[in-house]
Chain A
Amino acid sequence: MKPADTLAKQTAGTNLNTLVGPKSQDTSPSNFDSSSDAPAAQQTAAVTQSPEPISKAQTADLRGITDTSGTPSRQQQQQPAESSTSPTPKREVTTVKPLRGVRINPEERQWHATVVHGRGVLEPYRHPRTHGVPVAFIQFRAHSPGPIQLAAHFASHAAASLGIPISGVVSLPTRRTLWTVPRGPFAHKKSQENFERRVHARAIKAFDADAEVVDRWVRYLEAHALPGVGMRVVRWHRLPVGIGRSHLQSVVGRMRLGRPTDKQKVKELGHRIVEVETQAAKQSDASA
């Protein structure tokens, strides 16, 4: 999955620099700045450093953002606000040579700076709905509650990364089918055994996002489906305004309607019918 690509598309037009904050302050959790270090060393530093607790200065910068696409600002607020002067022991930075031919995408790096490490463990961020127009409805079904909860959690996080506003995870009622069968192969009806099958269900509703983004989300979920969890997707597609009229026009254009009836032709046809019928009647009289 490349959330940064879609995110870049959605946030096209916004200044991504605002997400990170001014470069003079040490804002990014991964200590990523356009400093004098070479890109390779920067990348290695980001990889090998331990995730430090986010300082108050960092949270203050991120809270100032009004555009919420892809920014887990709420999660930032959840973190305990520590003072910027708290001493945090830093590990020794070991330089590791990166893979050959790795190209660093500056947009992706900027987005990475806004990411809260370990957010998979927390509750997923829910983007606010712009219009509340439903776009997709995903239902998960499984025989046990553990994997299904994980699947719904995973889908919610994926939607948060893609900037799709979703409803909360809804627990639909569990369906239980019971069979009671005799234990023995023949007779002995009084001793029986109960078997059941429980189907747990969860549902997520997505709103407002573009069809392409929702496509990507659904394909991602299908590619990383959990074993034992079934997924059903219902999609709503937006049509342009005036679709009914345009449909009608295209259909009417194909039909042979709208020509005015020629009164003269109808009269002539009527006369012909009368003549033919009278002749037929005379012939039948003559034969009878």
Chain B
Amino acid sequence: MPPRPNIRVLRDIKARQGVVDNEIARRAYLYVARNQTLPAQVRYRAQLQLNTFGRYTRPTTVKNRCTVTGRGRGVIGEFGLCRYQFRVKALAGELPGIQKASW
């Protein structure tokens, strides 16, 4: 969470929480909808149920954001930092093992 939270960061947090809460139900419906051996009507109804889930339950809504600035683009997943913050911290020596490359 950045020092002054972004609305986008807050939405992302809400999405993550929603995904965690609804994962089991979503997976169950998804299994039924994708299963070739089940009758077509059952699969269709399962798919309709899936469509009723809101956007804060879908895992595709989740986006890695910079933990310091909240930037959505240019985020390096291993550190959870956007590219500029990664550079700032790396030069300060706060990232273990990272050094300026030269070869």
State the A residues within 8 Å of B (CB).
Answer: 143, 178-179, 181-185, 193-199
Contact = CB atoms under 8 A, between A and B. Distances in A.
B83 A195 contact: no
A197 B97 contact: yes
B92 to A, nearest CB: 12
A252 B1 CA distance: 57
B20 interface: no
Between A143, A181, A194, A198, the greatest number of chain B beta carbons within 10 A of the residue's beta carbon is seen for A181
A178 B78 CA distance: 12
B101 A185 contact: no
B84 A184 contact: yes
B98 interface: yes
B98 A195 contact: yes
Contacts of A184: 84
B86 A181 contact: yes
Contact of A143 (B74, B87, B96, B102): B96
How would you classify the secondary structure of chain A's contact residues: helix, strand, loop or mixed? Answer: strand
Interface of B: 74, 76, 83-84, 86-87, 90, 96-102
Contacts of B102: 194
B84 A179 contact: no
A196 B84 CA distance: 15
Nearest to B85: A185
Contact of B87 (A195, A196, A197): A195
A261 B86 CA distance: 72
Nearest to B79: A179
Nearest to A178: B101
Contact of B101 (A143, A182, A183, A194): A194
B84 A143 contact: no
Contacts of B101: 178, 194-196
B97 A143 contact: yes
B84 A197 contact: no
B77 to A, nearest CB: 11
Given A184-B84, A193-B87, A179 B96 contact: no
Nearest to B99: A196
A193 B100 contact: yes
A194 B100 CA distance: 6
A195 B97 contact: no
6 contacts: A143-B96, A185-B84, A193-B87, A195-B90, A196-B98, A196-B99
